[in-house]
């Protein structure tokens, strides 16, 4: 199972940073649009999605900023 995950993520390891940026941008745009539509219908789903996104990505971005800091 771990080997399958490694094989599926391998193309991303060799990808140029600009291409990775656009893939992430496209993915996040699609998810945000879906959340916007579901918010109109259900109301609670976007709140949960935004909170989860911040909870998961916040520490990662903070630690990455400390690790790659210019100052």
Q: Does this model's pTM top 0.75?
A: no
Report the pLDDT averaged over residues 35-51.
Answer: 74
Q: Please tell me the predicted confidence (pLDDT) of residue 28.
A: 87
Structural domain range at position 35: 20-57
| Residue 70: inside a domain | no
Structural domain count, the chain: 1
Q: Is residue 31 within 8 Å of residue 49, measured between CB atoms?
A: yes
What pLDDT is recorded for position 69?
65
In-domain check, residue 12: no
Tell whether 28 is covered by a domain: yes
Q: Which residue has the tokens 């490694």?
A: 6
Asked whether residue 9 carries a pLDDT value surpassing 80, the answer given is no
Asked whether residue 30 carries a pLDDT value surpassing 80, the answer given is: yes
Q: Both tokens of residue 36?
A: 């916007």
Residue 1 confidence (pLDDT): 74
Question: For residue 71, is pLDDT > 70?
Answer: no
Task: Concatenate the DSSP letters of all residues of the chain into one string.
Answer: -HHHHHHHHHHHHSS-HHHHHHHHHHHHHHHHHHHHHHHHHTSSHHHHHHHHHHHHHHHHHHHHHHHT---
């Amino acid at each position: 199972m771990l080997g399958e995950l490694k094989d599926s993520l391998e193309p991303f390891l060799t990808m140029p940073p600009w291409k990775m940026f656009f893939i992430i941008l496209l993915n996040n745009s699609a998810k945000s649009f879906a959340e916007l539509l579901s918010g109109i219908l259900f109301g609670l789903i976007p709140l949960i999605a935004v909170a989860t996104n911040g909870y998961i990505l916040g520490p990662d971005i903070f630690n990455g900023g400390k690790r790659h800091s210019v100052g």
